[in-house]
Amino acid sequence: MNNIVWHKTSVTLAERIGSNGHNPCIIWYTGLSGSGKSTIANVVDRKLYERGCHSYVLDGDNVRHGLNKDLGFDDVSRVENIRRITEVANLMTDAGLIVGTAFISPFMADREQARKLAASRFIEVYVDTPLAVCEQRDPKGLYKKARAGDIPHFTGISSPYEPPVMPEVHLRTASLNVEEAAEQVIQALIEKDIIS
Ligand SMILES: Nc1ncnc2c1ncn2[C@@H]1O[C@H](COP(=O)(O)OP(=O)(O)OP(=O)(O)O)[C@@H](O)[C@H]1O
Ligand SMILES: [Mg+2]
């Protein structure tokens, strides 16, 4: 770090906010596999796009295809996975974007780290779906494999999930459809003055 100096950008964030017409933030979706993070994040993203907002979704599987393809699923790798995602999301908010991140992010300490780095721009969305419901949905067939012992460190089965204590948005998807869940996120963005 010694000889690395942060270079100031010629276009300021305030200028970007001015031309975008909204504030940047990180919408941090967390929840079990199959809870609905990617599904809800993408419906929210579509709604933002239709409002003319500049947004993007960083999705677990997509990031692991490239940026984080060298990482596994043990605890150390999960921590590094979240650290890199947080840094990328932070750069994207510095570019003025509303960034959705859809990762299981099972550990409270990592989410708190992300919150600290993003400061006031962090909106934690707990996609709260009981394990039994996730397992019944099993959209990728992963629970079946995990129960058979074919996937080590599977969150909810052989690796812990630490639920958020005070998330900004709490979505109980067992009693909300996807549209209602996405609308709750949009309302939270309005309340927090991210969008109008
Ligand atoms: N109310 C709901 N909210 C969200 N998803 C729902 C709801 N009801 C049913 N589903 C279904 O549950 C599944 C959720 O899968 P999705 O891939 O979004 O989960 P995920 O949290 O991104 O999982 P992973 O961590 O494995 O990527 C989808 O098939 C979706 O259609
Ligand atoms: Mg997903």
CATH, residue 163: 3.40.50.300
What pLDDT is recorded for position 119? 83
Domain assignment present for residue 5? The answer is no
Task: Judge whether 77 counts as a catalytic residue.
Answer: no
Q: Are 20 and 96 in contact (CB under 8 A)?
A: yes
Domain assignment present for residue 12? The answer is no
Domain assignment present for residue 4? The answer is no
pLDDT at 37 > cutoff 70: yes
What pLDDT is recorded for position 1? 65
Domain assignment present for residue 136? The answer is yes
Q: Which of 55, 105, 120, 196 is catalytic?
A: 105
Q: Are 89 and 116 in contact (CB under 8 A)?
A: no
Kindly report whether the global pTM for this prediction surpasses the value 0.85: yes
- Which residues form the domain of 79? 21-191
CA angle 18, 124, 156 (to 5 degrees): 150
Q: What is d(CA 181, CA 43) in angstroms, rounded to the nearest whole number?
A: 9
Tell the residue number behind the tokens 């933002």, with chain if given: 48
Which residues sit with Cβ closer than 5 angstroms to ligand 2, an ion?
38, 102
Of the residues 35, 45, 63, which should be mutated to test ligand 1's pocket, given the most ligand atoms within 8 Å of the CB?
35
Domain assignment present for residue 65? The answer is yes
Domain assignment present for residue 168? The answer is yes
Tens-digit pLDDT profile for residues 132-178: 999 999 999 999 999 999 999 899 999 999 999 999 999 999 999 99
Please report the atom of ligand 1 found closest to the CA of residue 134.
12
Q: Which of 137, 140, 108 is nearest to 124 (CA)?
A: 108
Tens-digit pLDDT profile for residues 121-130: 999 999 999 9
Going from the C-alpha of 133 to that of each of 92, 106, 136, 138, the distances in angstroms are: 33, 18, 5, 8
Domain assignment present for residue 13? The answer is no
Domain assignment present for residue 147? The answer is yes
What is the share, in percent, of the chain residues with pLDDT greater than 70?
Answer: 99
Number of domains comprising the chain: 1
